[in-house]
């Protein structure tokens, strides 16, 4: 029954067993999902990694393996480590911006206090 | 010459050719580096991915493949996608903190202006 095979078994041109480790996570209507993980990790590694997990965690693992595989296909040098580097830069920028803003508060409150003192002096002198 | 083999060729129990694709990036003194990428990606996938890159980018690719493999060994469900999720949370927190700090500036400058106006009134009345 060819039409019932999952994307992995179609790709590997084999019968899809009823307890196929790939079938729940690689449906036949999304063949590029399996093609990506197969290209980067290899079918047997993906099967083994899923098999070693409890069934309720396999869907998440399949999703993250697919994400990693897609990143590596798009960026063969850095893969999703490139994403991590960019996020670290973004955190550095946000923290730098926060430190600057906090410094501005201190400076502005000092200037404000000085201006207030000056204004009091002026007021007293005028009267 | 067994002692001259790279970590990959030692692991795979084969002769290490002079043009070995693994040798420059998997030195014999760090066997666990190759063991990790082999376990997650498979030796032939790693070799192919390195081969498809220009030589000057292969060291970076080997480093990022090793990082990804280590993440997946430590966290078999999320791998380094778990790191990405945590960094996204950290960015959200930093941006939230920044927005709060900016709101504080506006509130404090309003309170400061009101206090200054009140102080001027009091000064004028006192004199």
Q: Please give the torsion angle defined by the CA atoms of residues A82, A88, A92 and A97, in that order, rounded to the nearest 10 degrees.
A: 80
Contact B119 A124 (CB under 8 A): no
Residue A90 included in any domain? yes
Instruction: Report d(CA A58, CA B50) in Å as an integer.
Output: 29
Chain A residue at shortest CA distance from B69: A41
Domain that holds residue A118: 85-126
A90 with A57, same domain: the answer is no
Angle between helical axes of B55-74 and B43-51 (0-180°, round to 10)? 150
A68 with A95, same domain: the answer is no
Residue A28 included in any domain? yes
**pLDDT greater at residue B2 or residue A116:** A116
User: Tell me: the pLDDT tens digits for A25-80?
Assistant: 999 999 999 999 999 999 999 999 999 999 999 999 999 999 999 999 999 999 99
Neighbours of A48 (CB within 10 A): 13
How many whole angstroms from its chain centre is CA B24?
Answer: 23
Q: How many domains does chain A have?
A: 2
Instruction: Report d(CA A24, CA A64) in Å as an integer.
Output: 15
DSSP characters over B3-29: GG--HHHHHTTS---TT-SSTTTS-TT
> Please, are residues B68 and B40 in contact by the beta-carbon 8 Å criterion?
yes
- What tokens appear for B122 in the block? 């009091």
**Where does a domain end: B51, B74, B97?**
B74
**Chain B residues close to A53, C-beta within 8 Å:** 76-77
B96, exposed or middle or buried, with CB in 10 Å at 0-12, 13-18, 19+? exposed
* Nearest-CB residue to B91 (from A42, A72, A90): A90
User: Tell me: the pLDDT tens digits for B44-61?
Assistant: 999 999 999 999 999 999
Interface mutation target, options B78, B82, B127, chain A, most CBs of A under 10 Å: B78
Check: complex ipTM more than 0.90: no
Interface mutation target, options A64, A65, A79, A108, chain B, most CBs of B under 10 Å: A64
A62 with A120, same domain: the answer is no
Instruction: Report d(CA B39, CA B13) in Å as an integer.
Output: 16
B21 with B49, same domain: the answer is yes
A45 with A98, same domain: the answer is no
């Amino acid at each position: 029954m060819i039409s019932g095979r999952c994307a992995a078994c179609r790709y590997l041109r084999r019968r899809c067993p009823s307890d196929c480790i790939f079938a729940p996570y690689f449906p036949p209507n999304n063949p590029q999902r399996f093609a990506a993980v197969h290209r980067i990790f290899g079918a047997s590694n993906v099967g083994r990694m899923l098999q070693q997990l409890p069934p309720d965690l396999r869907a998440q693992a399949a999703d993250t393996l697919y994400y990693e595989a897609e990143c590596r296909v798009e960026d063969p040098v850095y893969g999703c480590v490139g994403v991590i580097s960019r996020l670290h830069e973004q955190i550095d920028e946000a923290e730098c911006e926060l430190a600057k803003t906090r410094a501005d508060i201190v400076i502005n409150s000092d200037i404000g206090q000085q201006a207030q003192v000056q204004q009091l002096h002026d007021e007293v002198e005028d009267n």
